[in-house]
C-alpha cells in the first residue's frame, strides 16, 4: 500500500484551529500576540460575559511556543468574577486594586484571603475559585498565567477540563490557612507583596546571574509552575543565559531593556518599564539591563526552566557555553553590548556600577 502523503492526512495549515484556539473563540475576547506587551495596565479589554460583568484579553506571546498562556482580567468596583474551576494550573499577579478570593472543593470548607496590588498566588488545580473586588471606587486588574493551551489541546474535551469532579488532594486538601503567607521558604501559596518580599540589591558582584542580582523563588500549591522575583541595582546588568519556553517576565519597578537572540549576531531589544511583560523564546540568549536611577525588579513566571533543552539535558548555569553550560561570563561579551549600556545610562543621568566585574566597563 502506498504511504499517505502529507496532503492527504493533514488539514491545510490555514484551516487548522487547535481546541485551545476554539475555546478562546467561544469566550469572545481578543488575543494579543507578538514579542512583548509594553504595559499590561494599558491593554484594551473586552467584556468577558462567560465570567460575569468583567473584561479580559488573552495573551499568546511568541516566546511561549504554545507551552502556556496569560490573560488579563479587570473587575469593576464592588463586582466579582463568576466562580470557575479547571484542571489546568493558574497563577495570578495583581496589577492593581484590592480584593479577595474564595477557594473551595466540593468536599471541603470555603476559605477566603485578601490581596492588594503586587500580591501573587496560585490556585490549586481544579479547586473552585471566585474573585471579588472589595473597593467601592477602584477597578481590580490582574494578569494570570495558565497551562490551558497544553491541557486543552491534550484532552480535546472541555467538559473534562472545566467540569471534572477529581480533587487533587496532593496539592490542596482544604488545609486550614492554606493561603497564609509563609516567610523564609519558597513553599508559600501566597505572597502579599512581591516587591516587599524580594531582597533589596546591594553591591555589584559576579555571583549568580551577575550584576548584583538578588532573587526570591516561589514554588506554590505543589504544582509544576516555577517562578521567582529578581532585583538588581541601577547601572548593572545580568549575564546572558538561556532557558526553556514560556517564562513570563513582568516588570514591577525600574526601567531598562533586555537584549535577546538565538546568537550574538542576532540580538533584538525589548525596552521595558513597570507593567511590561515579555517572554524570551526557548533557547534564546538574553540579559537584562537596568538603566533607570531606580533599581529594577521583575517577577518571572513559567514552567520552561524545568523543560529539558533539545537533546534531553537540563540547563546548567554553573558552566559557560564553551563548557556545555547555559550562562555566558561577562568576559565572553562583545564590547558593543556594554558600550550601548553605558551610553544609555549617561542619557538617564545614571552611572555604571560594573567596573569591578565587567572587563569592558569604563567606570574603573
Q: Give contact residues for Zn ion (rule: CB under 5 A).
A: 342, 352, 354, 361, 363
Nearest residue to 180 (alpha-carbon basis) of 110, 113, 248: 113
71 vs 240, beta carbon nearer Zn ion: 240
194 vs 337, beta carbon nearer Zn ion: 337
Burial class (CB in 10 A: 0-12, 13-18, 19+), 41: middle
Furthest C-alpha separation in the chain: 73
316 vs 336, beta carbon nearer Zn ion: 336
- The minimum distance between CB 239 and Zn ion, in angstroms, equals 14
59 vs 361, beta carbon nearer Zn ion: 361
Interaxial angle between packed helices 19-27 and 148-155, expressed in degrees from 0 to 180 and rounded to the nearest 10: 120
- The minimum distance between CB 155 and Zn ion, in angstroms, equals 51
Instruction: For residue 92, give every residue at least 6 positions away whose Cβ sits within 8 Å of its Cβ, in sequence order, or none.
Output: 101, 120, 121, 122, 123, 142, 143, 144
- The minimum distance between CB 55 and Zn ion, in angstroms, equals 44
Using DSSP, state whether 40 is helix, strand or coil.
Answer: helix
- The answer to whether 214 and 230 have CB atoms below 8 angstroms apart is yes
Nearest residue to 261 (alpha-carbon basis) of 35, 34, 59, 39: 35
Query: Please, what is the Cα angle at 188 between 233 and 167, to 5 degrees?
Result: 140
Rg (CA), the chain: 22
247 vs 354, beta carbon nearer Zn ion: 354
57 vs 361, beta carbon nearer Zn ion: 361
- The minimum distance between CB 284 and Zn ion, in angstroms, equals 24
Q: 348 phi and psi, to 5 degrees? A: -90, 0
d(Cα 208, Cα 199) in Å, to the nearest integer?
A: 14
- The minimum distance between CB 295 and Zn ion, in angstroms, equals 16
203 vs 217, beta carbon nearer Zn ion: 203
Which three cell numbers mark 273?
518599564
d(Cα 342, Cα 331) in Å, to the nearest integer?
A: 16
212 vs 304, beta carbon nearer Zn ion: 212
166 vs 363, beta carbon nearer Zn ion: 363
Query: Please, what is the Cα angle at 291 between 290 and 295, to 5 degrees?
Result: 55
- The minimum distance between CB 198 and Zn ion, in angstroms, equals 24
- The minimum distance between CB 338 and Zn ion, in angstroms, equals 6
Q: DSSP letter at 313? A: P
Place of cell 517576565: 249
d(Cα 298, Cα 2) in Å, to the nearest integer?
A: 55
- The minimum distance between CB 363 and Zn ion, in angstroms, equals 5
- The minimum distance between CB 358 and Zn ion, in angstroms, equals 6
Q: How many CB atoms lie within 10 A of CB 84?
A: 15
Amino acid at each position: 500500500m502506498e504511504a499517505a502523503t502529507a496532503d492527504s492526512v493533514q488539514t491545510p495549515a490555514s484551516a487548522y484551529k487547535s481546541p485551545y484556539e476554539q475555546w478562546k473563540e467561544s469566550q469572545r475576547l481578543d488575543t494579543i500576540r507578538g514579542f512583548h506587551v509594553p504595559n499590561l495596565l494599558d491593554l484594551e479589554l473586552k467584556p468577558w460575559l462567560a465570567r460575569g460583568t468583567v473584561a479580559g484579553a488573552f495573551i499568546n506571546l511568541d516566546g511561549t511556543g504554545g507551552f502556556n498562556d496569560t490573560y488579563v482580567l479587570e473587575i469593576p468596583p464592588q463586582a466579582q468574577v463568576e466562580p470557575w474551576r479547571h484542571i489546568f494550573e493558574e497563577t495570578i499577579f495583581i496589577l492593581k486594586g484590592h480584593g479577595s478570593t474564595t477557594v473551595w472543593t466540593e468536599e471541603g470548607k470555603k476559605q477566603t484571603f485578601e490581596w492588594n496590588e503586587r500580591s501573587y498566588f496560585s490556585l490549586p488545580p481544579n479547586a473552585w475559585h471566585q474573585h471579588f473586588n472589595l473597593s467601592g471606587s477602584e477597578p481590580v486588574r490582574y494578569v494570570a498565567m495558565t497551562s490551558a493551551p497544553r491541557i486543552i489541546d491534550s484532552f480535546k474535551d472541555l467538559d473534562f477540563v472545566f467540569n471534572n469532579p477529581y480533587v487533587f488532594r496532593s496539592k490542596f486538601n482544604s488545609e486550614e490557612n492554606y493561603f497564609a503567607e509563609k516567610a523564609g521558604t519558597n513553599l508559600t501559596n501566597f505572597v502579599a507583596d512581591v516587591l516587599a518580599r524580594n531582597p533589596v540589591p546591594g553591591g555589584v558582584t559576579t555571583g549568580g546571574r551577575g550584576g548584583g542580582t538578588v532573587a526570591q523563588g516561589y514554588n506554590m500549591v505543589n504544582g509544576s509552575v516555577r517562578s521567582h522575583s529578581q532585583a538588581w541595582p541601577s547601572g548593572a546588568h545580568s549575564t546572558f543565559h538561556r532557558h526553556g519556553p514560556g517564562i513570563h517576565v513582568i516588570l514591577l519597578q525600574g526601567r531598562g531593556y533586555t537584549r535577546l537572540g538565538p546568537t550574538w549576531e542576532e540580538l533584538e531589544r525589548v525596552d521595558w518599564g513597570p507593567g511590561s511583560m515579555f517572554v524570551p523564546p526557548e533557547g534564546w540568549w538574553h540579559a537584562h539591563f537596568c538603566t533607570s536611577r531606580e533599581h529594577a525588579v521583575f517577577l518571572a513566571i513559567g514552567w520552561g526552566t524545568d523543560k529539558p533543552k533539545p537533546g534531553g539535558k537540563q540547563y546548567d548555569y554553573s558552566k559557560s557555553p564553551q563548557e556545555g553550560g547555559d550562562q555566558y561570563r561577562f568576559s565572553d561579551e562583545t564590547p558593543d553590548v556594554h558600550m550601548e549600556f553605558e551610553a544609555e545610562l549617561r542619557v538617564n543621568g545614571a552611572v555604571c556600577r560594573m567596573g569591578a566585574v565587567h572587563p569592558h566597563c569604563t567606570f574603573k
